Structure 1
């Protein structure tokens, strides 16, 4: 994917391997990237070796105040946020839905849907300052066909899709595009999907799900 993000600011909430791949891809295309999360791997080292503009901070995504402060600080520092990538992930709860405990549901929702929602809310004032701002929520295409022990993850993934369509509708009047990218192959495929959805090439896309590793682009069905 050949996209130009020079002069643009991107924030990635969630620094797992998928989030790291997205951050590196955006920075390699010229963006100033801000990444937060508990697990950032070797992102700082890779950014230093390639002289990329990537700023990181370790924090739990479920800490509403810390997440909001990080996003706001990036927006204030750069003046606007052009790309907000929401990568809320939860530890897998591998058991039948009928055996899931209430606290496990609460944790899963807090680490996925609530994290994504809070990140968008925090970024909203700064997205409104940008030209052609884009929000991209990350999910997993494999969860459209969940195994017998993947019910919680599948429900959360469905929630991310529904949130994508809802936010796309609610933010259309503010000219903020909201789409989702689903991991269907390697993380490099996912990064390419995010680059496309965040770029001018996808200026006509909002409320869509792009499955990385799959050429299918479709409207999200809530």
Structure 2
């Protein structure tokens, strides 16, 4: 038996990077997976690579109606939702905090903050009906050990960690566990924005503060998410799990 046999997971931002890694890994362990992303074509490609247990959904997580439609589609196809992974994320380019325009600021908080609120309102009643569930948010080491140059992104991820802990306490009586992942910078499409620009010198600078000496990979994050989603973590809630090669030590 797989570790997620019989369970259904919705994963946002799943057309690439950490989200795609989670979708593949969850499916390997028996889950039905909703591959949700603003990039609908990318979501279709990832779902096709997984097979019949994956359902692609084009969704803009900044829009409540999109999230409600995504959740409704998941329930219609698979009968319910056991795992909600708030993985979609956005960042401003590394640089002076005074130079981040308001439109970019609003988008960072719409994707990294408000989307969690929308998803929670949609899935908690469904999970309660099923007797419990697991909510996982991809936060960041930026929430715990913030770097200069990413101030507003750092703040959005700090919110995600605080929300995770508060939700965990409030939803525990409903048997809904809530946890966050805190990855260090990874080999994903947002890496260049995190660094400001992508050069060998800047990569080495970022790696130099990671004791294990490399960036995170989608598989690193997927394995951590798998554990949090599985029954092996049945007594784990309110945790901000560092998946960072020692960065936050």
CA distance in 2, matches of 1:46, 1:12: 12
Deviation at 1:54, TM superposition (A): 0.9
Residue of structure 2 in register with 1:94 after alignment: 94
CA distance in 2, matches of 1:212, 1:140: 9
SS at match of 2:124: helix
Deviation at 1:143, TM superposition (A): 5.1
SS at match of 1:137: strand
The answer to whether 1:13 aligns with 2:9 is no
CA distance in 1, matches of 2:93, 2:117: 21
CA distance in 2, matches of 1:186, 1:10: 21
SS at match of 2:139: strand
Structure with the larger strand share: 1
SS at match of 1:128: helix
Deviation string 1:149-174 (CA, Å, 9 cap, x unpaired) is 11111111101101101111111111
Q: How much is the aligned-residue C-alpha RMSD, in angstroms?
A: 2.5
Is 2:59–2:70's contact at 8 Å kept on the other side of the alignment? no
Structure 1 pair 147–84 and aligned structure 2 pair: CA distance change class (3 A) = same
TM-score (norm. length: structure 1): 0.86
Deviation at 1:17, TM superposition (A): 1.1
Question: How is 1:63-82 mapped onto 2 (pairs within 5 angstroms)?
Answer: 63-82=63-82
Deviation string 1:173-202 (CA, Å, 9 cap, x unpaired) is 111000001213211110011001011111
CA distance in 2, matches of 1:215, 1:150: 20
Is 2:24–2:50's contact at 8 Å kept on the other side of the alignment? no
Is 2:220–2:243's contact at 8 Å kept on the other side of the alignment? yes
TM-score (norm. length: structure 2): 0.78
Residue of structure 2 in register with 1:4 after alignment: 3
Is 1:143–1:150's contact at 8 Å kept on the other side of the alignment? no
CA distance in 1, matches of 2:138, 2:10: 13
Is 1:84–1:136's contact at 8 Å kept on the other side of the alignment? yes
The answer to whether 1:146 aligns with 2:146 is yes
